[in-house]
Each structure stands twice: as C-alpha cells, then as structure tokens.
Amino acid sequence: MSPRGVAIPDLRERLFAAAERVVARDGAASLTSRAVTAEADCAKGVLHTHFAGLDEFVAELVLDRFARSARQAQALEAKVGHGTVAENLQEVVGALLDSLPPAVVGLAMTRPAAASHTREGFQSGAPAFDAIQQAVTAYLQAEQYAGRIPADSDAATIALALVGTTHHLLMTHSPGQATDTAATTQRLLAVLLGR
C-alpha cells in the first residue's frame, strides 16, 4: 500500500492496468495522471488522491508487479512432481516477462523520484528478483529431492542464471522487438537442466 494509502484495492489495480494500457498503446511519454485516470474511467484527481504523484504511482506499479511475480514463483512449490521442470520454470519466466511493460520499467528507472521510491520499496523488503530467485531455488531443490533433476545439480546457480537472464530480457526488451524470449528461455533451460 502506498504511504497515502489506496482504500479500495480494486481501484489500485484498475489504475495500474490503465497505466499499462496507456503505455502499450501510446508509449511511455504519454503516461500522465490524466491519461491514466481517463483510461481507468475515473475522476481526474483520483490518482493524486491516493498517490503523492505520478512518480510514486509508477514506482508502486513496478513494486506491485514484482510482488505478483514473486507470488507466482512461490507457487512453483505446488508444481513439484507435476508437468516438466522446464515447463514449470518457463511459465514463471513468461509471467515475469509479461508482468511489466519494458516502458514502465524504463520510466521507473529514468525518473529520479520514481527510481528512488522503487529502491526504497526494495530496501524495505518489497519482493524483487531475489525473492523470485529464492523461490526458484527452493523449487529446484524440491525437484531434486523428488528425483526429477540430478542430485548433483546446483539449484542455486541454475536459479541465479535463469533469473539473471530473465532480468536481462526484461530490461532490454523493446516494444515491437522481434526477439522471441520464449525460445531464448527454452534454450537456456535446456542448457541449465542438461536436457
């Protein structure tokens, strides 16, 4: 929750989803509080009622999407022994790559106040790539115990390589870019899992 608080969780998500649509359709430069509220079909001032400004809003959007991705990674625990290890990991990577439009990440990194607020959130314990990496490591260790990946596999290093590559893909992907991140991830998993 932002320091000023959003009383209705649905409103918070509605504003976040609207911002993602604005960025996808019109580009990062078009992201204004007025564009977000118009897209969300809300009163013009509602964003500033619940967030200190656009920078805090962008930072909170990034923090929210990382938290959602961390929850999806933690859900890997329920998949131990089901599907294939590569398919389960591919699903988490795909969800992370889809969780944040690269233009929104760029805004959060290039707007000093948004970057500062995002950094403060991470320093205060908001989940980020490290939480995702820990969840992937725990999942791989459980799959080792179940005998689905070799006992001598280095689960922590596999998780680091996978999450680090996902971070790279997320930060370098441009809208409309032809790079097939799913194919890249499949090749990486084949190498990491020795398949």
pLDDT of residue 39: 95
Collect all residues with Cβ–Cβ distance below 8 Å to 153 and sequence separation of at least 6: 140, 144, 193, 194
Q: Supply the pLDDT for residue 6.
A: 46
Whole-number pLDDT of residue 19? 93
Kindly state the tokens that stand for 67: 């938290």
User: Which residues lie below 8 Å from residue 47, measured CB to CB, with a gap of 6+?
Assistant: 15, 33, 36, 37, 54, 57
CB 44 within 8 A of CB 37: yes
Tokens representing residue 163 in the block: 């999450």
Are 46 and 55 in contact, with CB atoms under 8 Å apart? no
Asked whether 65 and 103 are in contact (CB, 8 A), the reply is: no
Write down the pLDDT at residue 94.
85
C-alpha to C-alpha distance for 61 and 20, rounded to whole angstroms: 9
Which residues of the chain are under the pLDDT cut of 50?
1-6, 178
